[in-house]
């Protein structure tokens, strides 16, 4: 199969979807891999490294799309890329359809096959491709949130760890999954007081067992969320509903409960966000202020630590790419149900129930295609 690796064009997105090692592995299986010039440079991989691994370097994204059947990306296709997608293409990337009705409709018009990283799901309910990026995003939420607390960023000027004689900051995390637990680990390690809220009592019991003493677990409901907001310096939104829009748990009215110069980092922003006042921002312009609260809502946080993120991501995605490229997507779906759950659109049809429900669109079950 001809596989295309375009250079990412989203603002300050430096990851690449396949490493030189991945190209070598795909070539061994008889595939031909077209890599756009400088696609990997932001992650530390030069064109020479790709050529040595057997890739064909092409100048433009247009050439990548024209020559390839399977397009492998990191982030959702941008408008300039959607224009190049057609019915012959299988596109394998993060899509987050449920947060963007316009993109959903544009992709449906292309007639392409869309396999979304974020909905590939194992029998135990885990999300193997989303996990490594959630680990990165969870840790970065604390790193970036701590920076935003500085006065130069509009924050209250509070050091997350405190110092002897001065109290540490309070970090509250809505959601105790992979993002939330990684955020809690880092915040607790820096000496902050940490609250984690979740609706899964089994998960809260697990977190209570493994987290240090400065982490408190709370059942997530409106009362408890409102209560912790009064003391919170840094709020992390870490809510995920697979394939669907994130629920809105923090209304604008609730911001009045927060301190002047406190910070919100909504990691769920790429799925619509769990804070009413959050809207996607970029690494170039990452923050804005609403009601005296700093909002950091960058939708591709892991893109700024591209070397780490690329390797973490491709450690998982490469095996799926191998399956699609050697068996074709329909045969691969029959052999791998986890991969089939990643199918979001097929020939103009919505094939993921969460996406269909988000926009009241007709749903076609993947088993019927």
Catalytic residue among 233, 270, 295, 352: 270
Give the residue from 18, 9, 13, 179 showing the smallest Cα distance to 92: 18
256, 291 in Cβ contact below 8 A? yes
Using alpha carbons only, what angle is made at residue 98 by residues 94 and 103, rounded to the nearest 5 degrees? 70
How many angstroms separate the CA atoms of 38 and 98, rounded?
A: 31
What are the strands of the beta sheet with 293-296, ordered from one edge? 215-219, 193-198, 170-174, 234-237, 263-266, 293-296, 287-290
How far is residue 235's CA from residue 279's CA, in Å, rounded to a whole number? 15
Selecting among 89, 96, 295, 352, the annotated active-site residue is 96
Backbone angles phi, psi at 33, to 5 degrees: -115, 120
> Which residues lie below 8 Å from residue 15, measured CB to CB, with a gap of 6+?
8, 42, 43, 74, 75, 302, 303, 306, 309, 310, 313
Which of 38, 54, 35 shows the shortest CA–CA distance to 46? 38
For residue 270, indicate whether it is catalytic: yes
The CB density around residue 74, as the number of other CB atoms within 10 Å, is: 28
Start-end of H helices in 149-198: 178-189
Q: Would you please indicate which residues are annotated as catalytic (active-site) residues?
A: 96, 270
């Amino acid at each position: 199969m001809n596989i295309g690796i375009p250079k990412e064009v989203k603002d300050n997105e430096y990851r690449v979807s396949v490493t030189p090692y991945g190209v070598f592995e795909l070539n061994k299986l008889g595939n031909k891999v077209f890599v756009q010039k400088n696609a990997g440079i932001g992650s530390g991989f030069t064109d020479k490294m790709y050529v040595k691994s057997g890739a064909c370097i092409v100048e433009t994204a247009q050439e990548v799309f024209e020559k390839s059947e399977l397009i492998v990306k990191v982030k959702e296709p941008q408008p300039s890329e959607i224009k190049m997608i057609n019915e012959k293409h299988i596109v394998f990337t993060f899509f987050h359809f449920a947060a963007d009705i316009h993109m959903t409709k544009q992709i449906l018009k292309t007639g392409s096959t869309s396999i979304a990283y974020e909905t590939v799901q194992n029998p135990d309910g885990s999300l193997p491709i989303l996990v490594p990026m959630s680990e990165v995003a969870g840790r970065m939420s604390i790193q970036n949130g701590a920076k935003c607390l500085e006065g130069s960023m509009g924050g209250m000027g509070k050091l997350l760890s405190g110092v002897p004689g001065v109290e540490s900051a309070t970090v509250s995390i809505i959601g105790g999954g992979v993002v939330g637990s990684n955020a809690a680990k880092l915040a607790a390690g820096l000496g902050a007081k940490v609250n984690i809220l979740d609706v899964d009592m089994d998960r809260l019991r697990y977190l209570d067992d493994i987290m240090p003493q400065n982490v408190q677990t709370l059942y997530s409901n409106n009362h408890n969320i409102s209560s912790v907001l009064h003391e919170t310096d840094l709020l992390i939104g870490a809510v995920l509903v697979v394939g669907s829009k994130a629920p809105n748990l923090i209304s604008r009215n609730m911001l009045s409960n927060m301190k002047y110069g406190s910070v919100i980092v909504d990691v769920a922003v790429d799925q619509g966000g769990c804070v009413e006042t959050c809207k996607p921002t970029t690494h170039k312009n990452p923050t804005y202020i609403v009601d005296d609260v700093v909002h950091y809502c960058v939708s591709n946080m892991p893109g700024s630590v591209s070397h780490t993120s690329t390797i973490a991501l491709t450690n998982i995605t490469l095996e799926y790419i191998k399956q699609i490229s050697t068996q074709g997507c329909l045969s691969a779906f029959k052999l791998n149900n986890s991969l089939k759950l990643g199918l979001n659109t097929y020939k103009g049809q919505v094939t993921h129930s969460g996406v269909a429900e988000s926009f009241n669109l007709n749903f076609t079950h993947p088993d019927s295609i």
